[in-house]
Amino acid sequence: MSIKSYVSIIAVALTFGLQTYSQAAIPSDPKILHAINRLSFGLQPGDIERTTNLGIERYIQQQLNPSTIPESQALNAEIARLETVNLSSLQLFEQNKLPRLGKGQKPTPEQRKAYQAKLRQVLEQAMQARLLRATESPRQLQEVMVDFWYNHFNVFSQKGITRLLVGAYEKEAIRPYTFGRFRDLVGATARHPAMLFYLDNWQNTAPNSPGVRGKAQGLNENYARELMELHTLGVKGGYTQKDVAALAKILTGWTFRRTEQKNVGQYGFYFDAKRHDYNDKVFMGQTIKGSEIAEGEQALDILAKHPATARRISYQLSQYFVADQPPQALVERLSQTFLSTDGNIRAVLNTLFRSPDFWDSRVYNAKFKTPYQYAVSSLRATGTEVTNFRPVVGFLRQAGMPLYGCLAPDGYKNTQESWLNPDAMTRRISFATALASGRLPLLAPPAVSPALEVTQLSNTLGNSFSVKTKQAIAATSSPSLRAALILGSPEFMRR
């Protein structure tokens, strides 16, 4: 049977399943499945048994403290082979640049082609490292939070030098702070060259200052606005356009350098005193004295400690881990923890995972997976070995969620409304069919991916399917089609 025929059959079953699926289909041990599905990118072989033996509370505490979970040496070895992944931003700048030319000379087409090839390699290896960790790391909640925070502090990979920097940005400004203080996280992103370039603060200059030159001709409010609207307070967070302008002035001179030199900070951050506005400012009702870089740090303190920031972060975490429309009482409870712990992310998550709202059976398997979650959960559920991630990257691009490819600064949404549509379902079913039949070229040539073993796949997922889905699987004699029906089922589309 052709893949096209498989897709047609599964599409009918999927449509029927989405109409008939109900909470009554939840298996007898739903808490284990719920915990794993929400704190990880999905079940993999042996997860149910390991978590049952460990106990749910201990499983959650281990995931909240990833240093207690031994790292995968095989995974570390795979990532170590990606030579650009472990380079810092400054090293990437140094090793990936056009050759120096004499005055009036321009790079040849061959030189530009070689330069673009280098940039592509850096981005491809960053994607491969992200997908390797997401599929193989035992520290699953850390990988989930890397994805969450990257979306929150999104940087688009196709704007100029960001193609070179997004992997380093994730490694340097996101990954170290996933469970720490929110203030440290927002501060790390504010200073990183990727964010400074993407949202144009590298151009932000006090008008008529000694540093006016080139593209640095005056105030640029882009980053200041998104810092308040998206990263901290939220659009209804109580700020005004005057606050946006004041914050832009506070952040004048926050830029970066591409080489190590005097006063260049970690990862290339540089405060250009010649471009700074030294006047006093009034920001969010507080007077900030003109004092160079300290002004920006004071403004970040104000934003990170603001109740509106606590509510916004709490809402987004509740939406990601509980429901598209999270209970207001839960958001308020998390906000209180955020404020009382000085923005301790681990403490906020601990409150969330112990809340009755998280364990309400009505939210079990009710979150619709994003394309990224669907692709990664498929690889984890099947235990598929991957040495060639290009088919996965291609699927994400076709599904409207290219990795590091969100153009808008607000990142990708994680709600059903954003991702459930006929075209998206067709693409997922095609991916499931190719994966189930072994026709997805996930191994480097000449190796061929094996077809999936149906019983193992079903057991891995806890046999957590509705009666209708089980009937559709049982009525099919082809093993690869049965596996495709599992991966294309309405139950597997959700977490």
pLDDT of residue 477: 85
State whether 215 and 227 are in the same domain.
yes
Do 147 and 39 fall within a single domain?
A: no
Burial 274-286 (b: 16+ CB within 10 A, else e): ebbbeeebebbee
Residue type, 23: Q
Does residue 419 sit within a domain? yes
**pLDDT of the residue at 14:** 47
Q: Which amino acid is at 190?
A: A
- Is 253 part of a structural domain of the chain? yes
pLDDT tens for 316-364 read 999 999 999 999 999 999 999 999 999 999 999 999 999 999 999 999 9
Pair (116, 239) in one structural domain? yes
* C-alpha span between 353 and 40 (Å, rounded): 13
pLDDT in tens, 371-424: 999 999 999 999 988 999 999 999 999 999 999 999 999 999 999 999 999 999
Are 407 and 326 found together in one domain?
Answer: no
Q: For the chain, how many structural domains are there in total?
A: 3
Residue 52 lies in a domain: no
pLDDT at position 20, please?
37
**What pLDDT does residue 28 have?**
55
Same domain, 395 and 418: yes
What is the pLDDT at residue 11? 55
With respect to residue 424, please indicate whether it lies within any of the assigned structural domains. Answer: yes
Tokens, residue 192? 């990183």
Residue 25 has pLDDT above 50, yes or no: no
Dihedral of alpha carbons 377, 380, 382, 384, sign: positive
Q: Which of 202, 225, 226 is nearest to 215 (CA)?
A: 202
Looking at the predicted structure, is the pLDDT value of residue 101 above 90?
A: no
Question: Based on the domain organization, do 156 and 293 belong to the same domain?
Answer: yes
Residue 26 has pLDDT above 70, yes or no: no
Q: What is the pLDDT of residues 444-466, one digit of tens each?
A: 776 667 778 888 999 999 998 99
Q: 């606005």: which residue's tokens?
A: 225
Is the same domain home to 156 and 238? Answer: yes
Q: Which domain does 336 fall in, by range?
A: 307-363
Q: Is there a cis peptide before residue 446, judged by omega within 30 degrees of 0? A: yes
Is 88 a domain residue? yes
The candidate with the shortest Cα–Cα distance to 112, out of 95, 102, 97, 123, is 97
Burial of 184 (0-12, 13-18, 19+ CB in 10 A): middle
Helix (H, G, I), strand (E, B) or coil at 218: strand
pLDDT of residue 154: 98
**Is 356 found in the same domain as 447?**
no
Residues 419 and 324 in one domain: no
pLDDT (0 to 100) of residue 97: 84
Structure tokens at 305: 């400690």
The span from the CA of 366 to the CA of 308, in Å, is: 28
pLDDT digits (tens, 9 = 90+) for 156-210: 999 999 999 999 999 999 999 999 999 999 999 999 999 999 999 999 999 999 9
Return the DSSP state at 227. I
Report the percentage of the chain scoring pLDDT > 70. 94
Q: Is residue 67 part of a domain?
A: no
* Domain shared by 247 and 352, yes or no: no
Residue that is written with structure tokens 């290009």 in the block: 390
Which of 305, 336, 353 finishes a domain?
305
142-170 burial, b at 16+ Cβ within 10 Å, e below that, comes to bbbbbbbbbbbbbbbbeeebbbbbbbbbb
pLDDT category of residue 3 using cuts at 50, 70 and 90: very low
Average the pLDDT over each of 1-5, 20-24, 72-76, 410-414 and give the range with the smallest value: 20-24
Task: Report whether pLDDT(245) > 70.
Answer: yes
In this predicted structure, what is the pLDDT of residue 401? 98
Same domain (yes/no): 245, 120? yes
Q: 271-314: per-residue pLDDT in tens?
A: 999 999 999 999 999 999 999 999 999 999 999 999 999 999 99
Residue 170 is assigned to a structural domain of this protein: yes
Query: Where does the pLDDT of residue 1 fall: very low under 50, low under 70, confident under 90, or very high at 90 and above?
Result: very low
